[in-house]
Amino acid sequence: MLLILAGVPLGAQSIERGRVDFDFVAGMAENLSKRAHRPARDTLPAALRDLDYDQFRQIRFSPSAALWRADRLPFQIQFFHRGFLFPDRVSVSEFSPTHFQEIPFLRDFFEYGDLSLDRALRSDLGFAGFRVHTPINTLDVFDEFLVFLGASYFRAVARDQVYGISARSLSLDTGEGAGEEFPRFTRFWVGKPTSNADRLRIYALLESPSVVGAYAFEAVPGEETLISVRARLFFREHSRRVGFAPLTSMFLFGPHSQNRFEDWRPAVHDSDGLLLIGEGRPPVFRPLVNDGTYRFSVFQVPSLNGFGLLQRARAFHRFEDLEARYDLRPSVWVEPVGEWGSGAVWLYEFPVVEEVIDNVNAFWVPAVLPPPGEPFDIAYRLHWLSGDARLHDLRRVVATRKGTDLNDRSLTKFVVEFEAAEDVSPRDLRSFSPVLTVEGAEVVNRPVLQLNHVEGRWRVFFDSRPEPDRRPVEIAVSLERGLEPYSETWSYQWKPSN
């Protein structure tokens, strides 16, 4: 085995004999967890650290140097240069069934525009991350579909999508006032695919002061890109809040948001709602909000079927953005593998005024973690998809509207819309009933159900007045047909203004 990149043989002396698998990385993680955390001593040269955005963008990986390009394999890997916002070094190795080899940094991998960086480009510079290409959209073009870059973040797309929402390995103290800890992947091993492979195997070592872990990824690109994740974690100490399968996204405003930031577009967001499905209960959908306040939502679940951050708006006219193409951003669904036990899905939203900042986090918090030093195993599948109709067979929430009652300004009027079956007509009204629950506010009238026959939707109207302490109000609305659930449960956290 002799690895060749860009026509340059990298040398047999760097090849090591051994089998790289999950147990190999897990054993490395366990050994590291028995020692105190040692921060990386690798210092990025100032010439790279001080690059600004425009300068950093001049550094481009040369596609001709892509890993496995010369072998004409179904996947290719390109590497990210260190610098600007990505100072940390990660090691990337290729592995076969019997050997593995770290891929060294070579200046010839990159094009530098008019930058003069020769003195900073030492041989042990390493990489900031990598991206994976495959013919996902057309048979003759290798498109990027998976990226690992920054801490433990990674993003993927399915066919005909563009990047949006991110996933990461682990959430530690997200939303805590004392600050969040960001574990990071320090080493990767990528499995060399066969000539007819339809999936790619990747292993990663995770490190931070509180935890060390081994991760295994199996990525299958396509109409729906599937990434299977397996992890074994060794906690040196427990954080205040540990979140698994965390998703990170952006919601600036939607068509029914009160604050639209004087933007000309109808909506700006990567995701517009959280969907949660627990065993034996109707699905819950919570629309995302960015109204200048911090929001924590906790959904207790005895047994989780799945959760995800969804982009339900799919028509171009919902955004009118030819560059960002928010209509093509993926939804991500987390499907547990094995029994996760009881716990809760957390949703954390914080206010932003620009679309370049992710302000939405969703993750799973188990009821019990093992004592520090004992392994914690978890596995799940991440589905990167465009539609979510297959996730359940009940009618979905399609719109959330809120405004002041013009006849009584102490009241707030809510209008929630659900999908309706194609064969539903106004004469079926008596067989449907809205179910409304409110905590922390007075419901002034009974909810009114109306068929929006123009768009094929059910509308539920109700008025509410907050209690004097104006604490966050929790509201839930669903539809029943007879005594059977007909729709998702619309769940909303209302923070009345003073």
- Tell me which residue has tokens 């199996």: 218
Q: How many CA atoms lie within 13 A of 16 on its CB side?
A: 11
pLDDT in tens, 367-414: 998 889 899 999 999 999 998 989 999 999 999 999 998 888 889 999
Q: Residue type at 368?
A: V
- By the 8 A CB rule, do 25 and 107 touch? no
- Residue of 144, 162, 452 lying closest to 319 (CA atoms): 162
pLDDT score at 9: 52
Apex 333 CA angle, 327 and 339, nearest 5: 175
DSSP, collapsed to helix, strand or coil, labels residue 44 as: coil
- By the 8 A CB rule, do 168 and 236 touch? no
- By the 8 A CB rule, do 139 and 159 touch? no
- By the 8 A CB rule, do 343 and 304 touch? yes
Q: Per the structure block, which two tokens stand in for 130?
A: 């990598």
Helix and strand counts by DSSP (H, E) for the chain:
3, 37
Q: Per the structure block, which two tokens stand in for 247?
A: 């998703």
Q: Which residues of the chain have pLDDT under 50?
A: 1-2, 4, 6-8, 12-13
pLDDT score at 3: 54
- Residue of 365, 331, 336, 361 lying closest to 347 (CA atoms): 361
Residues facing 380 on adjacent strands:
229, 336
- Cα separation, 23 vs 321, in Å, equals 46
- By the 8 A CB rule, do 448 and 441 touch? no
Residues facing 392 on adjacent strands:
none
Residues facing 417 on adjacent strands:
399, 459
pLDDT in tens, 334-374: 999 999 999 999 999 999 999 999 999 999 999 998 889 89
Q: Could you tell me the maximum CA-CA distance found in the chain, to the nearest angstrom?
A: 82
pLDDT score at 90: 96
* H-helix or E-strand spanning residue 31: helix 22-33
Pairing of strands 284-287, 489-494: parallel
- Cα separation, 340 vs 355, in Å, equals 34
Query: What is the b/e burial string over 188-218, where b = at least 16 CB atoms within 10 angstroms of the residue's CB?
Result: bbbbbbeeeeebbbbbbbbbbebbbbbbbbe
pLDDT score at 6: 44
Q: Per the structure block, which two tokens stand in for 308?
A: 């995800």
- Cα separation, 135 vs 125, in Å, equals 30
DSSP, collapsed to helix, strand or coil, labels residue 13 as: helix
DSSP state of 283: -
Q: Which CATH number fits domain 397-494: 3.40.50.1000, 2.40.170.20, 3.30.70.100, 2.60.40.10?
A: 2.60.40.10
Report the C-alpha dihedral over residues 247, 365, 302, 296, rounded to 10 degrees. Answer: -70
- By the 8 A CB rule, do 132 and 200 touch? yes
Report the C-alpha dihedral over residues 27, 30, 34, 38, rounded to 10 degrees. Answer: 90
- Cα separation, 29 vs 204, in Å, equals 10
Output the CATH code of domain 4-391.
2.70.98.10
- Cα separation, 253 vs 291, in Å, equals 9
- Cα separation, 152 vs 406, in Å, equals 49
**Domain limits of the chain?**
4-391, 397-494
